[in-house]
Amino acid sequence: MIVNKRIAHEYEILEREEAGIVLKGCEVKSIREGRISFTDSFVKIRGGEAWLCNLHITPCSTGTGELDPKRDRKLLLHKRQIKRLSGILSQKGLTLLPLKIYFKKNKAKVELGLAKGKRKYDKREILKRKDIEREMRREIKERGRFG
């Protein structure tokens, strides 16, 4: 399982959805080896189909033919899921992002997240809260040791 770690910091995840992904054989091998980058990747809906864009999958050394590492890859979703997501995405400020890629019964799956961007002050507030919790745990640990 390969997880997009930056998403939790940059976005607030409102909803999650699982989708299949259409890949070439060489790409499957690269994903199994963990040679993938989520940087700037997103999902676009066009022509009644969902497409995963800008996902960088490093080509494996044994692959024949030249594949573009950042090519658009088709996502396998039901029509009603695509229509619902398309309607939701038409709202301002929402985007569909890949959260993680994993294998389920030897099929490559991608977990999509309906995300809303966090504001700068929200990020700062979360970091402050984490610092306070860390300090509290440290204090409790120290009291247990010397108390």
Give per-residue pLDDT as tens, 99-124.
999 999 999 999 999 999 888 777 78
Alpha helices in 45-93 (DSSP H): 79-89
- How do residues 15-37 score in pLDDT, each as one tens digit? 999 999 999 888 998 999 999 99
Tell me the C-alpha distance between 102 and 98, whole Å. 11
The answer to whether the pTM exceeds 0.75 is yes
Q: The domain 2-118: what is its CATH number?
A: 2.40.280.10
